[in-house]
Structure 1
Amino acid sequence: MEDKELKKLVKKSRNRQTKKILGTYAIMLLCFALIGLVFMSVYNYGPFKADKVSGLRDDRIKTVEQQSDVGALLFDQVQEIQMNTDVNQLTIHIDYYEGEKLISATEPFQVGDAEETGEELSGLKGSLMYGIPTGEKRMIIDFIGDGYRARGQLDFDEYLTLEKDKGWSSQEYYYEGTERIERDKKYYLYLTQTGGNMYLDFEQNLSKKKLKETKQTIVMYMVLK
């Protein structure tokens, strides 16, 4: 075989190898692009966001871990729950116990009631924020969605009769945003009790045994419909 023919064969072989490598890279880039698009679609980023909360899957709620410095200055306690849901109504419930006896059950705040707002929402998507202003005994509740806002407040002295000299212990519930929401389920938000220590487990503080040991208990939760 002559040198020229050998060189041609080597060149053709290299060209085929180069094309294979480029083809493999192109397929990999396409796969990464598709994975990225699927990820953005699932977690509502970029062009898939629309009126939803970015970084949160559909039909999920999650607790925002970091609060702003301004919030820390204005509130003794503040919490934010983000949500992307197809429900049309959110109701905040407040249950007040003396010992294990339920004394009162109120609904001081609601979002998505068409009779009150005059509009029907197509799914609640946004942030539910609630906090106790520094030095006060009332809770401000705020829901902020895309082009929609609702605000209310809970006055502890109005709804309840906490004994101020007994000391308060309080706890917030934490949601990771992994579980799909269920309609008509209690989603605990906030708990405060007078006297004694609280368990780390939120729901354990609402057991009959713990309620018996505690003079007064306030529990706040939301129900989605």
Structure 2
Amino acid sequence: MPYRFSSLIVLLMLLWRPASAAELTPLEYRWLQGVWPVVSHARQQLALPLDIVVQPQDAPGAAPLALGFVDGRCKLVLSLRGNPLGQRQLDAIAADLQAAALELMAAHEVGHCRRYLDGAWFSLPAGFVAAQVPAGLSTDLQQAWLYMRSTRREEAYGDLVGLAWVKERHPGLYGRLHAWLVAERSADLLPGSHHDTLAWLALVRDGRVLQGRDPFEAAAKVWREGLKD
């Protein structure tokens, strides 16, 4: 099963406690080491209210890395215990790409964090109009269709933030990581579904188009171009 970058999840209450440093497993240390450059940058340079939570309970089938939002703070959540997806994801990435790929994943989630803090989650930029809901759908299916379209847009923005980070920090690996992300998004693809970001990824095959003061600005420019289709 390919890794699916998670959509942002709003955690209304905390039902877990974070694991302490003494309790961390080697796999958790590996993931923490991989995402740390992004977390450190987001906190120190971008001043984002971002915390890391390592879930101590088993979480089979959960996304190894996800984002929550609690009391005005973003929570980067690692769910690796009792969850073979965490090791499987690393094993599927070439050894020399693993560190940068983990940074890409973390930057993707930080892109979600930025959108949520800006109050823009699921919103279209000024000048864009939402697509017409297909005729003949029930009320429930209409809501599901709108949710799918909105999630797809946010996933595309997250992917572009991740690639903008790679372009800035690991330019020599950009082509391979772009190809890896395209392969992830192409696996078991349902065109137009929540994680179908291929239209946006096609726009950044050449990473030089990702230009901006920070990964958010670089991503936003290309993201808007993809919204036109």
Please indicate the TM-score interval, normalised by the length of the shorter structure: under 0.3
Which has the larger helix fraction?
2
> TM-score when scaled to structure 1?
0.25
From the two aligned structures, give the one with the greater strand fraction.
Answer: 1
